[in-house]
């Protein structure tokens, strides 16, 4: 409550009042009627300082009183001209009373002198109050703008989180249903291989389920998920699928979005390698380049034509998530692999 009533009492305000009082004191000392000019420099300085002390007491009292009245009236009160006039009158009156109370009124002066002090400072109080009305209004407007900006930021964050959850929801059933379909098909043709695939599915789900709803994971955890998925596919494809993963230990703690690398691996197998009778190889690499993390999934499959030129749902999902999480600081590119196949490259800010 005390801080609210003194809202606006800053060092800048005190400095302005101090400067005004210093000028007023100088004007008083230079007036011939006050008899200061006839003495030496030391006498002039002493007279100026003594008058400055009186004026500072008056000015600071006026400042604090005006602020108390304006802040007590609240925002609506400051919009009222009558409240502003009242603040000026009360501030000038309080300064005159305090000046009298501390004995800064010349001996022998009566009520008329108090009225003179009051009227002489009333104009200054009016200017001060007018300035503070505009200052406090501007402060209120700034606070309203900051509050609106915070609300807008919170809404954008909530919308981003909702969008990411929806994009994640597209990934989850896609992976699970495809894998379960493979297990069912293999169980009908080779029971032993089906049991092996169920074991790999357990490993895969243990790695995948805790991370599907997260916005970030580590590269090490994402690679563990990819290894589990490749284990599933190797049970199904056997010698037709060769894999290699190259990730330097220094990069394993890097933060990456979950399921993106696995989506690229699944896309490479489904569209590039599985349709070929001889199968193919997948090589996954992670490297640091120009302060960014570059993740590459390269296959020796059918090439860009077999990968639908990057227009699949999984790839579109990755691009949408990258845009939502990093804006223009991340991207996904598809390029021809040598001697055959596709290389999908995700570039992320390295964190």
SS (H, E, C) 119-152: HHHHHHHHHHHHHHHHHHHHHHHHHHHHHHHHHH
Q: What is the DSSP letter of 8?
A: T
Contact 133, 70 (CB under 8 A): yes
Q: Is 174 among the domain residues?
A: no
Q: Looking at the domain assignment, is residue 95 inside a domain?
A: yes
Q: What is the pLDDT of residue 202?
A: 78
Contacts of 234 by beta carbon, 8 Å cutoff, 6+ apart: 241, 243
Please name the residue that has the structure tokens 């379960």.
180
CA atoms of 128 and 98, how far apart (whole Å)? 18
Q: What is the pLDDT of residues 19-50, one digit of tens each?
A: 888 888 888 788 877 777 777 788 888 888 88
Number of domains composing the chain: 2
The residue whose two tokens read 């009558």 is: 82
End-of-domain residue from the set 125, 150, 175: 150
What SS3 class is residue 299?
strand
Position 28 in a domain: yes
Q: Based on the domain organization, do 335 and 211 belong to the same domain?
A: yes
pLDDT at position 282 is 95
The H or E element that residue 287 is part of is strand 280-289
Reported as a single tens digit per residue, the pLDDT across 201-248 is 777 777 666 665 566 789 999 998 898 888 888 877 889 999 999 999
Please name the residue ranges forming H helices in the chain.
2-5, 11-30, 41-78, 81-101, 111-189, 191-208, 219-237, 260-267, 313-326
> What is the reported pLDDT for 1?
47
Q: Are residues 96 and 223 in the same domain?
A: no
Are 269 and 133 members of one domain? Answer: no
Residue 173, in any domain of the structure: no
Kindly report the CATH number assigned to the domain that includes residue 257. Answer: 3.30.565.10
pLDDT tens-place values along the chain, 351 residues long: 455 667 667 777 778 788 888 888 888 788 877 777 777 788 888 888 888 888 888 888 888 888 888 878 776 666 677 888 888 888 888 888 887 777 766 656 666 677 777 887 788 778 877 777 777 777 777 777 888 788 877 767 666 665 656 555 555 556 667 667 777 777 777 777 777 777 777 777 776 666 655 667 899 999 988 988 888 888 778 899 999 999 999 999 999 988 889 889 988 998 899 899 999 999 999 999 888 999 999 999 988 765 554 457 778 888 888 888 888 899 999 999 988 999 999 999 987
Task: Give the Cα separation of 186 and 183 in Å (integer).
Answer: 5
Gap between the Cα atoms of 339 and 242, Å rounded: 16
- From 89, 120, 150, give the residue that closes a domain: 150
In a domain, 177, yes or no: no
What is the pLDDT at residue 18? 82
My answer on whether 244 and 305 are in the same domain is yes
Which of 99, 124, 150 lies at the terminal end of a domain, its last residue? 150
Using the CB atoms, write b or e for 142-172: b if 16+ within 10 Å. eeeeeeeeeeeeeeeeeeeeeebeebbebbe
Structural domain range at position 11: 2-150
Question: What per-residue confidence (pLDDT) applies to 341?
Answer: 92
The tokens describing 8, both together, are 């606006």
DSSP state of 1: -
Q: Is residue 68 in some structural domain?
A: yes
The verdict on residue 31 lying in a domain is: yes
CA–CA distance, 234 with 241 (Å, rounded to integer): 6
**pLDDT on residue 232:** 80
What pLDDT, on a 0 to 100 scale, did the predictor assign at position 309?
Answer: 47
pLDDT of residue 240: 92
Full-model pTM: 0.52
Helix (H) or strand (E) holding 327: none
Whether residue 343 is found in the same domain as residue 222: yes
- Asked whether residue 311 is domain-assigned, the answer is yes
Pairing status of strand 292-299 against strand 342-349? antiparallel
Residues whose CB is less than 8 angstroms from the CB of residue 163 and which lie 6 or more positions away in sequence, other chains included: 320, 324
């Amino acid at each position: 409550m005390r801080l609210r009533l003194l809202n606006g009492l800053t060092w800048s305000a005190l400095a302005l009042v101090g400067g005004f009082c210093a000028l007023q004191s100088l004007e008083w000392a230079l007036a011939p009627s006050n008899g200061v000019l006839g003495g030496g420099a030391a006498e002039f300085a002493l007279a100026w300082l003594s008058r400055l002390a009186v004026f500072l007491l008056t000015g600071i009292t006026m400042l604090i009183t005006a602020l108390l009245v304006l802040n007590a009236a609240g925002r609506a009160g400051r919009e009222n001209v009558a409240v502003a006039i009242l603040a000026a009158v009360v501030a000038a009156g309080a300064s005159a009373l305090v000046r009298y109370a501390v004995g800064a009124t010349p001996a022998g002066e009566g009520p008329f002198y108090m009225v003179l002090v009051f009227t002489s400072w009333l104009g200054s109080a009016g200017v001060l109050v007018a300035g503070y009305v505009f200052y406090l209004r501007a402060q209120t407007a700034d606070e309203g703008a900051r509050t609106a900006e915070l609300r807008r930021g919170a809404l954008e964050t909530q919308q981003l989180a909702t969008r990411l959850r929806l994009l994640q929801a597209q990934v989850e059933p896609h992976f699970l249903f495809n894998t379960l379909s493979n297990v069912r098909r293999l169980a009908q043709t080779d029971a032993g291989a089906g049991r092996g695939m169920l074991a790999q599915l357990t490993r895969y789900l243990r790695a995948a389920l805790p991370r599907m709803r997260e916005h970030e994971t580590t590269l090490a955890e994402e690679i563990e998920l990819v290894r589990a998925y490749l284990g599933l596919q190797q049970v199904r494809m056997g010698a037709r699928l060769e894999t290699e993963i190259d990730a330097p230990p220094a990069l394993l703690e890097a933060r990456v979005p979950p399921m993106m690398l696995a989506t690229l691996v699944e896309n490479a197998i489904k569209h590039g390698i599985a349709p070929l009778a001889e199968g193919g190889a997948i090589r996954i690499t992670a490297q640091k380049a120009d302060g960014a993390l570059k993740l590459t999934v390269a296959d020796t499959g059918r090439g860009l034509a077999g990968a639908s030129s990057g227009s699949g749902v999984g790839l579109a999902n990755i691009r949408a998530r990258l845009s939502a999480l990093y804006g223009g600081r991340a991207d996904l590119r598809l390029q021809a692999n040598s001697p055959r196949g596709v290389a999908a490259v995700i570039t992320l800010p390295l964190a």
